[in-house]
Amino acid sequence: MHVLQNPVPSSSTPVIFFSRGFAFQKESCRLKMPLLSSLRAAPSLLCLDQGVPLLDLQRLKDSLQLHTAFEYGVLGGERVKTREAKAALEDWSLSKNLGADTCVIGVGGGATLDLVAFFAATYARGLPLVLVPSTLLAMADASFGGKCGVNVQGIKNMVGTIYHPQEIIINVDLLHTLSSQQMASGMTEIAKHALLDSHQFVEQLFSSWDACLHHDSSCLEQVIAQSLAVKARLCAHSKDTRHFLNAGHTVAHALEALEGPRLPHGIAVAVGLYVEAMVGMRREVVAKDVVDAARDIFLRVVPDHPLSGGWDLGDWKQILAHDKKNVGGRPSVAWIQTIGKPYILNGQSTVPLEWVEVEHAYDLLRSL
């Protein structure tokens, strides 16, 4: 086990542990993981994504050696990010008399961790939290940064807050059962961070892409650590720089609302990065290097005919009209001007689109 040295340490930044195997209670591990170590004498709530293989869950539970552990199963996927699911977890926790001394351990994909972290943030006015992401997307992005919440009336992440876990355990051994599509989804978020960072990171990621898809542990740990370092830097600088992380996500979230669970988040982001870059190039604010790299990501990740087509321009505009990132009632995007340089307009990191640009994005989607 080793600890990721955070480039911008702060009181709100979790300690990130990389581990292979399931030996969390060895003496050398306990010295590095004070919160998990203290759980041997305190109650804990294990929230377990039911999409994680049972054998991996059992090995994880056995290795933690928790003193008093309550287990709660979570369905996983975007369908679980609802106010009803959060209320059900709260009611269940109350029925077990769980109090403020309980530590929450969330194990699963990004949607599960969003729900569990939102619960931990509000139950008993905040519980200590440990996250164990089980997908590449969650390891490289969703588990870090503190964002948590649920979807409301089809609008992504409309109700939520910022709540940081104290510790994150990244164990690439948990990725061994993920499909190629699930791995590609995670690579998309890493690629977004690379676009925000540097040509060097982009080139390195593309050169190690196939090795990562084939579960090369060393390559995965390296690109995950780099991805988290980029996100840590942007989150720590200011609220405005955090918004750069929304690159590709205005289009992506709208597509997820229209397409439903058939479209994985990472695939939607790959489409979003490409379409938003094309719209930005037409406005002459996004350079060709970003468009070319976004197209490369798109071709690596997105299958043929990714969209169902069961919606029209009116549906597209209506969904975007309710996006939580809107400025002045208009959909807004976070553009990357050139690789390593996000676009800023009048000091703002999010840029409102003209409705004609929204229609152009629709035309681009129909051409995919």
- Strand order from edge to edge, sheet including 167-170: 2-3, 15-18, 167-170, 129-133, 103-108, 43-49, 68-74
Q: How far apart are CA 53 and CA 64, in angstroms?
A: 17
Nearest to residue 103, comparing CAs of 86, 119, 85, 82? 119
Residue range 71-125, pLDDT digits in tens: 999 998 899 999 999 999 999 999 999 999 999 999 999 999 999 999 999 999 9
- Vertex 214, ends 209 and 219: CA angle to 5°? 55
Q: How far apart are CA 223 and CA 205, in angstroms?
A: 7
Model pLDDT, residue 65: 74
Mean pLDDT over the full length of the chain: 89
| Dihedral angle of Cα 192, 198, 201, 206, to the nearest 10 degrees | 60
**Which tokens sit at 274?**
């490409």
Domains 2-175 and 195-366 agree in fold: no
Specify the residue for token string 């979230």: 253
Q: b or e along 93-116 (b: 16 or more beta carbons within 10 Å of the residue's beta carbon)?
A: beeeebeeebbbbbbbbbbbbbbb
Model pLDDT, residue 239: 73
* Statement: residue 262 has pLDDT above 50: yes
Burial class (CB in 10 A: 0-12, 13-18, 19+), 29: middle
Model pLDDT, residue 3: 56
The DSSP output letter for 66 is -
Mean pLDDT value across residues 302-324:
88
Model pLDDT, residue 368: 86
Domain 195-366 has CATH 3.30.470.10: no
Mean pLDDT value across residues 225-246:
88
Percent of the chain with pLDDT over 70: 89
Of 252 and 306, which is predicted with more confidence?
Answer: 252
Percent of the chain with pLDDT over 90: 68
Mean pLDDT value across residues 176-187:
92
Nearest to residue 358, comparing CAs of 260, 250, 267, 265? 250
Model pLDDT, residue 256: 92
Of 28-37, 208-217, 323-332, 346-355, minimum mean pLDDT range: 28-37
The answer to whether 145 and 233 have CB atoms below 8 angstroms apart is: no
pLDDT band at 50 (very low <50, low <70, confident <90, very high): very high
Model pLDDT, residue 56: 85
Q: How far apart are CA 126 and CA 12, in angstroms?
A: 14
Mean pLDDT value across residues 12-31:
56
Cα torsion 320, 323, 328, 329: sign: positive
pTM of the predicted model as reported, rounded to 2 decimal places: 0.90
**Sequence spans of domains, the chain:** 2-175, 195-366
pLDDT band at 323 (very low <50, low <70, confident <90, very high): confident
Q: How far apart are CA 120 and CA 160, in angstroms?
A: 12
Residue range 114-137, pLDDT digits in tens: 999 999 999 999 999 999 999 999
Distances from the Cα of 132 to the Cα of 84, 85, 350, angstroms: 23, 20, 31
Of 168 and 339, which is predicted with more confidence?
Answer: 339
* Statement: residue 30 has pLDDT above 80: no
Which one-letter amino acid corresponds to residue 232? Answer: A
The CATH number assigned to the domain with range 2-175 reads 3.40.50.1970
3-state helix/strand/coil string of 208-242: HHHHHHCCCHHHHHHHHHHHHHHHHHHHHHCHHHH
* Statement: residue 5 has pLDDT above 80: no
| 73 three-class SS | strand
pLDDT band at 202 (very low <50, low <70, confident <90, very high): very high
Model pLDDT, residue 8: 47
Of 42 and 198, which is predicted with more confidence?
Answer: 198
CA end-to-end distance (rounded Å), the chain: 43
Of 274 and 55, which is predicted with more confidence?
Answer: 274
Of 30-34, 201-205, 217-221, minimum mean pLDDT range: 30-34
